[in-house]
Structure 1
Amino acid sequence: MSRRLRIEEEKAKQLKDELQEEEDKIKLQQERIFGPLVWRRLQNGIKIQDLQELYFEKAIDLVLSAFVQEDVLFRNTKFKDDSASIKSFTSRLIYKLNDRASIIAIDDDNDGFVAGVLILNPVQKCDFGRVYSRTMLVEGEAYRGITDFMNYINRKVDVFQQCNCDIYLRYYLLCIHPEYRGRRLGYQMMMVGLDIARHLNIPIAMGVFNSYSLQKLARKIGIDQTLFEYQYVKWADRNGGLVFCDPGAGNYTCNVMVGVVPPPPEPEAPPEPEKKEPKGKSTRADKKKAKSKK
């Protein structure tokens, strides 16, 4: 191979490497722009980030496998045995997730395992209509019974009027994987919900909390005003039979609760540098004493 040809090949290789490097930079920038926003990193290796479409299926699987087994409404209506209800509920979840306000907890130390899901929905006064909730196609006897109850609860409260706001952030559904409970992950995700509300300039947070544990958690983060409370023993079917026969220990009511989104916490002040006392001039005698000690 001639020297000239070798130089041309080296130039071509260098140009190819430069183009590849430029493409890698552009790809990295796109990933930063369109990648999920990580809201919080916990010490146990879990990160809380935006729930993007990539994780929709895993999030729904977690809700269907864990949430519906334990939630008061779903557990008491035999939802898990009604395939039509499951299909209808899944469609509703996908609709809610498309609001792009929900978050997901991922365990980086466990191959990206989905540890929790919090579905959030900004609700604007101009777009709000109770008609949608009542007329949206609901299939399955079990899910129809759940939506009838929730529609009754929602009709009892006008958050916009009672809180004097044009928009609020609704905590729609919180689900933590059983293996990750007892680590305050639910609390951390609920707190991130307030961060999202601040990010979206939403002044009010709201939720329909149907268990004592969720009500307690809501109060802990500042969603502590109860606008409406309904006792489960009052809800009966068409024949007058009790629907919620086993709400669980402490779960006596379903509460509509709201709270004002607080301002962000002030950053901690940096520690003040230690003041060092100025050293006096040492005499010859001091130097001799220091030398003798050595």
Structure 2
Amino acid sequence: MSRKFRLEEERAKHLQDEIQEEEDKLKAQKERIFGPIVWKRLPSGIKIMDLQSVNYIQAVNIIMEFFVKKNVIFRNTTRFLEDEDSVTSFRDKLLISMMDRSSIIATKEEEDPDIDEEIVGILLLKAVKKCDYGRVFSRVALNSGKPYASIIKFLNGINRKIDIFEEFQCDSYLRFYLMCIKPEYRGKLLGYQLMSTALNVARHLKISVMMGIFDSWKLQEYAKKLGMQKFFEILYKKYHDDEEELIFCDLGAGNYTCALMAGTIPSFPQPEKLVFKVESVTKPRTRAEKREKYKKNR
């Protein structure tokens, strides 16, 4: 191999390395631009970030596994999991809600970037806009299956009790749609951390009003701490379903009502003004002033 050929080969390799380095930089920039926003990191090693499309199926599976059996409304709906149409309708509704791209998840951080982070909590959020509210799309009949239709009927009956747009004179609001925490992470205020983080999501979206239908006393307490108040609530024991698909007999401790709650989202707290104490500086005396003082003291 001639010396000239070796030099050309080295030059080509060096050029290829430079091209690869530039491609890696562009890839990293794209990942930063299009990657999820990390809203909060907790001391427990859990971070709260945007729900991305790559996590939709995993999030749906977690909800189907842990939410349906735990939630007050779903677990009191007869034959829901046995009804294929109801399960399919609910899964489709979940995917449509996730496509709003407002939802957030809690994941367990891993030091190794090659290990997929475990989703431990999900909060589905939906930005509801007045201009879209009356469209047919928002009321598409995805509710096939009697058990799921009974749930939608119950929730819609509560939702229609107040016009959020009229009550708060707003053009949009952020709705708390559904929250699911894995069993081993419950009782650690992760639900409250997700709900409080949703306020930052609303601020990011320039939304000043929030609402939700909360079916347990714990969620109602969290909502109250965030500044929401009850506008309507229904006693479970007084609810009667004509179809006999939704019968509340397994409520759980402390769960007596399902409440529609709403409130305004406080703006970011203003930073405190820094007050600097300016200390007086003694001006050095001149030689003439020193001599004058010396004469006076003699």
Normalising by structure 1, report the TM-score: 0.87
How many angstroms does 1:166 deviate by? 1.0
Distance verdict in 2 for CA 1:42–1:19, change over 3 Å: same
Distance verdict in 2 for CA 1:128–1:113, change over 3 Å: same
- 1:156-235 to 2 correspondences below 5 Å: 156-223=161-228, 225-235=229-239
How many angstroms does 1:137 deviate by? 2.9
- 1:1-294 to 2 correspondences below 5 Å: 1-78=1-78, 79-109=80-110, 111-129=116-134, 135-223=140-228, 225-238=229-242, 243-267=247-271
SS of 1:193's equivalent in the other structure is: helix
Q: Distance in 2 between matches of 1:265 and 1:48?
A: 21
Report if the CA contact (8 A) 2:231-2:259 is conserved: yes
Report if the CA contact (8 A) 1:130-1:155 is conserved: no
How many angstroms does 1:83 deviate by? 2.0
Distance verdict in 2 for CA 1:194–1:239, change over 3 Å: closer
| Residue type at the aligned position of 1:90 | R
Distance verdict in 2 for CA 1:58–1:240, change over 3 Å: closer
Deviates further, 240-249 or 226-235: 240-249
Deviates further, 110-119 or 166-175: 110-119
Deviations 1:256-294 (A, max 9, x none): 101110111345789x9xx9xxxxxxxxxxxxxxxxxxx
Q: Who is 1:292 aligned against?
A: none
Q: Distance in 2 between matches of 1:124 and 1:239?
A: 32
SS of 1:179's equivalent in the other structure is: helix
| Residue type at the aligned position of 1:187 | Y
Report if the CA contact (8 A) 2:214-2:261 is conserved: yes
SS of 1:81's equivalent in the other structure is: coil
Distance verdict in 2 for CA 1:93–1:241, change over 3 Å: closer
Q: Distance in 1 between matches of 2:273 and 2:17?
A: 46
How many angstroms does 1:82 deviate by? 2.0
Number of residue pairs matched? 273
Deviates further, 230-239 or 173-182: 230-239
Q: Distance in 2 between matches of 1:241 and 1:124?
A: 32
- Report percent identity of matched pairs: 51
* Alpha-carbon RMSD: 2.3
How many angstroms does 1:90 deviate by? 0.3
Deviations 1:92-128 (A, max 9, x none): 0001000000001110148511100000001011111
Q: Distance in 1 between matches of 2:63 and 2:142?
A: 21
Report if the CA contact (8 A) 1:168-1:206 is conserved: yes
| Residue type at the aligned position of 1:204 | V
Normalising by structure 2, report the TM-score: 0.86
SS of 1:259's equivalent in the other structure is: strand
After TM superposition, what 4+ stretches of structure 1 lie above 6 angstroms from structure 2?
A: 239-242
SS of 1:138's equivalent in the other structure is: coil
Q: Distance in 1 between matches of 2:138 and 2:64?
A: 21
Deviates further, 258-267 or 83-92: 258-267
